[in-house]
Amino acid sequence: MIYWILFGAISLISYIVQRNLTKKFDRYSNVPLAANLRGCDIAARMLQQNGIQATIRPVDGTLTDFFNPADMSVNLSTPVFASSSIAAAAVAAHECGHAIQHKTRYSMLVLRTSLVPAVSFASKWVPWVLLAGILLVEAMPQLLLLGIGLFAITTLFSLVTLPVEIDASRRAIAWIEHSGIAQGGTLECAKDALRAAAYTYVVAALASLATLIYYILVYTRRN
């Protein structure tokens, strides 16, 4: 019962945080950048100043931005790629922050990248293994333990993602401020937007950790 209350609370918080992020992105998308640079221009300038060669391209969707180290590309959602707002600048700079992490081999990014194969495997099988483990916990408790191990890998990935995202935002804000493209109230808007984005990763990590604890309790109580 306690778990379901906790799970419900985390789900509600997750919804509120995600909705808050969307609202702030929409609000700051209407705050023009004095330098009149689009998100793609911001990305190009930040990459060039850090000596990084990467392709900058638009992708469909909203808040679907990501850096792909496999082909060295900074992928910006259409509203970010073509907009000259402070929201677009913040998001573009954040993704370039990941490119800088990749270049400097930032330790937590290296760790997260090394976990990708294991996480891909675990994510594929963990729902089925956990389901079978719970149904057969009396006869085959080892199956549930295997599922817990697989889920623990995904939880570790969520936890490692936190410092990676926070550091990318820190690099983004530092560059925006140093470059002078945003100052005063506009700079605070960029900080607020990236802070709201960071909260989504915090909630995701907490939800994953709470779920992991739940399965561990199921195993210890029934075994």
Show which residues are catalytic. 95
Query: What letter does residue 36 receive in the DSSP assignment?
Result: -
Q: Pick from 175, 172, 177, 186: which is nearest to 84 by CA?
A: 186
C-alpha distances in Å from residue 140, one per residue of 26, 105, 153, 212: 51, 43, 21, 19
Q: Pick from 2, 1, 74: which is nearest to 39 by CA?
A: 74
Q: Pick from 51, 55, 67: which is nearest to 109 by CA?
A: 67
CA gap 167, 96 in Å, rounded: 11
CA gap 92, 41 in Å, rounded: 9
161, 111 Cβ separation under 8 angstroms: no
